[in-house]
Structure 1
Amino acid sequence: MDKTFYFTSLNQRLRAQNRAIPTLLIDLDRLDHNIALVQQQLKEGADLRLVVKSLPSPDLLHYVMERTGCQKLMVFHQPFLSDLAQHLKDNVDILLGKPMPVRTVRYFYQHFAKNPDTHFDPYRQVQWLADTPKRLQEYALLAAETGKKLRINLEIDTGLHRGGFATPSGLRAALQIINQQQHSLVLSGLMGYDPQVVKLPRWLSSPAKALAKANQIYREFIQIIREEFPALWREDLTFNGAGSPTFGLHQNSDSPLNDVAIGSAFVKPTTFDIPTLADFQPACWIATPVLKKMRGTKLPGIGQLPHWMSAAFLFLGESYFIYGGYWKADYCYPPDLRINPLFGASTNQSMLNASGQHTLEVDDFVFLRPWQSEFVFLQFGRILTVRNGEVSGEWRLLRQ
């Protein structure tokens, strides 16, 4: 679809809404396209696990889960976990994407309120991530307090070097703790995140070599569990890894993963304009109304810029003040919009300049494309969904 037609059509639909405020949009047709690509590129035999921080809306998660058959989530924030636990079915598995302080884990269980309409079991359905022997011991003491076993997934370092168990001896020490604490802890698997595979400079390593190295480390760690700790081994252990940048690479590699985490690929903010996601379509936008329009450019202490300056710098031809701004996002329509360098960005009323080549009036909407979804989405009170160019519904965001 022609870009100008796409955004001018969205502008008309938004102008017909009963309120004009900064709004997050998700294009369901583009989302469906990305869902289909994920299903085509997902490693055979591996389960999909949705990354909640990148899709922080219960309605968005439900939409993708229904269309993919996914029953697994990765959560990075305790309030999100508490919110989701009120609505999830008893067949959904949650893996924490980062280690939680033991006080936060205790708080979650102390404040877990059972919803009579759901059957979510916070002990059976949650895998807590542990990265050090100390944290394992803390979790074991908490389990003793609650009288319930905690499921423990061990974070392993497959080359990212952001923490976790990095050596065979380190993993053995962790497994020994779990082995000794089987009355309190249950091993649920391993998690090894591998974004370095596509982010390393090419002079340092190619993606193929980096992936092969990460997979080899992962296989060695799995082998340690299977051969040296048979009491902890189960065929249903979770071996999670990948992410939006790398999940497609696992499809045709000797990957040990049986559980693949994907989030941002479904909505594709600008950070994910990368070769491995080249066929995916941007599916999320920020739309915000123009509050004020001025001919030329006036600046504090200077006033109206002289005509010659506007003629020399065409982008100063018109000025607009928009509702809000300063999001982690790029202006994408009209195409020649830019932040005024002297005013700078503002969370209240950002000043934009444009050449005037595209007609833009007060109450029209300008469009931005987020850099990421995990933080930016949460700055809006709702998501408006778009289907076939029409505003089709409203989704809520997770509670913080």
Structure 2
Amino acid sequence: MSAYFAELSKALKAAEIFRPCLVLDRDRLDANIALVKQRLAPGLAVRLVDKSLPCLPLLSHIAKSLETGRFMTFHPPVTQAVLDAFPAGDLLYGKPMPVGAAKAALARGGADWWSRVCWLIDTPERLSEYGALAAAFGTQLRFAFEVDVGLHRGGFSGPTEIGSLAIPKGLRCEGIMAYEAHAPEIPGLFGGAAGALKKASARAAEFVAALDADQRRILNIGGSKTALLHGGGVANEVSIGLPAAPRLRHARPRRLPAGRFHCVADPEGARSGAARPGGHFPHAQGARPLPEEGLLSLWRQVDGRTGVPRRHEAERPDRAVVQPAVHGTAGGRGGEAR
């Protein structure tokens, strides 16, 4: 066990936490946020993915740091929690919802669901269903088209499909949502990630060209692995989920201030049905600092060719890195960090 996780285990024991839990490393999180701000292309806004950051204080901290009120959401109860926590937030669904689920959410949620939620439409049939839903409620619903830019997981496959659609009364098109998670996995033999991203951006531009000028408020693309690789295209925002960013280099090891580690989740409490503030974010208000005893940064060596971290501590400071924040969380058993 590395010194980092050994000391983290001591902190858990000092806090008398002897159950499975999630620990957030704030230093690494903040370092990653700073790097996102530094490397994000000019003109691109960030939309935070709530299902990947399912803790309201965490979501709030990142949103405030990145100066964004945009969120991507996936599940109506979580959507409601985010709407309540961020009164000025703008939410875009990251997956098409069955019209029955949308109907139930609209019936329970009220005006915020009409004005601040943008639904995702992936087929002509769903567009028609949502048109009927808007008519039934006597209101206007916002939506964006899900478009296929190479992942082939769903959405409209060509710009002509969108251009030929008649948008029902009561629906307002806000733009498109494109996802290119396939790009980082493309082998170099077939053009690699750079080639796939270029093709995805070009394809997205074709879809945007099929929209009217007043239908381009949301031009969404990207994910945690690709968000910082975009720039200069038609997109005006990128989605980021896991609190991770390209690896951050430091000059030397350092001591950490108290309050760096926070316990933010209690799976046992959630399973037992224990009442906790935060609704469907059961650990939303449970973040609290852990006592520390001179915790050290975790240093790892990175392969200079691939950028993949090796699983042992660095011997050369010039190649030392702090891992992304996703590696700065620890789910341990009985006070042991892993």
TM-score bucket of the superposed structures, by smaller chain = 0.7 to 0.9
Asked whether the equivalents of residues 174 and 215 of structure 2 are also in contact (C-alpha less than 8 Å), the reply is no
Asked whether the equivalents of residues 188 and 238 of structure 1 are also in contact (C-alpha less than 8 Å), the reply is yes
In the TM superposition, residue 7 of structure 1 has moved relative to its aligned partner by 2.4
In the TM superposition, residue 64 of structure 1 has moved relative to its aligned partner by 0.7
CA-to-partner distance for each residue in 1:326-345, whole Å, 9 max, x for gaps? xxxxxxxxxxxxxxxxxxxx
Aligned to 1:31: 29
In the TM superposition, residue 47 of structure 1 has moved relative to its aligned partner by 0.8
Aligned to 2:94: 97
- Name which of 238, 252, 255 aligns with 2:233: 255
In the TM superposition, residue 387 of structure 1 has moved relative to its aligned partner by 7.5
Secondary structure of the residue aligned to 2:156 is: coil
Aligned to 1:143: 134
- Name which of 119, 124, 127 aligns with 2:118: 127
Q: Number of aligned pairs?
A: 273
**Whole-angstrom CA distance in 1 between matches of 2:151 and 2:215:** 27
**Whole-angstrom CA distance in 1 between matches of 2:116 and 2:264:** 38
Aligned to 1:224: 210
CA-to-partner distance for each residue in 1:253-300, whole Å, 9 max, x for gaps? x32110110011x1x4xxxxxxx834399x999999xxxxxxxxxxxx
CA-to-partner distance for each residue in 1:211-259, whole Å, 9 max, x for gaps? 1111111111111214xxxxxx3276110010111111113xx321101
1:111 to 2:108 alignment? yes
TM-score (norm 1): 0.62
- The percentage of counterpart residues that share the same residue type is 34
Q: Which amino acid aligns with 2:47?
A: R
- Name which of 69, 74, 77 aligns with 2:75: 77
Aligned to 2:187: 201
- Name which of 260, 279, 282 aligns with 2:248: 279
- Name which of 53, 56, 59 aligns with 1:55: 53
Aligned to 2:159: 168
Bigger share in strand: 1
**Whole-angstrom CA distance in 2 between matches of 1:101 and 1:242:** 24
Change (3 A) 1:287 1:76: closer
Asked whether the equivalents of residues 183 and 197 of structure 2 are also in contact (C-alpha less than 8 Å), the reply is yes
Aligned to 2:224: 244
**Whole-angstrom CA distance in 2 between matches of 1:238 and 1:143:** 20
The answer for unaligned runs of 5 or more in structure 2 is 251-259, 269-280, 294-338
Secondary structure of the residue aligned to 1:123 is: helix
Change (3 A) 1:284 1:225: farther
TM-score (norm 2): 0.73
**Whole-angstrom CA distance in 1 between matches of 2:2 and 2:287:** 19
Q: How does 1:173-184 map to 2 (within 5 A)?
A: 173=164, 176-178=165-167, 181=168, 183-184=169-170
In the TM superposition, residue 208 of structure 1 has moved relative to its aligned partner by 1.7
Aligned to 2:143: 152
- Name which of 166, 182, 185 aligns with 2:171: 185
The answer for unaligned runs of 5 or more in structure 1 is 114-119, 227-232, 269-275, 289-322, 325-377, 391-400
Secondary structure of the residue aligned to 2:214 is: coil
In the TM superposition, residue 205 of structure 1 has moved relative to its aligned partner by 2.5
Asked whether the equivalents of residues 55 and 284 of structure 2 are also in contact (C-alpha less than 8 Å), the reply is no
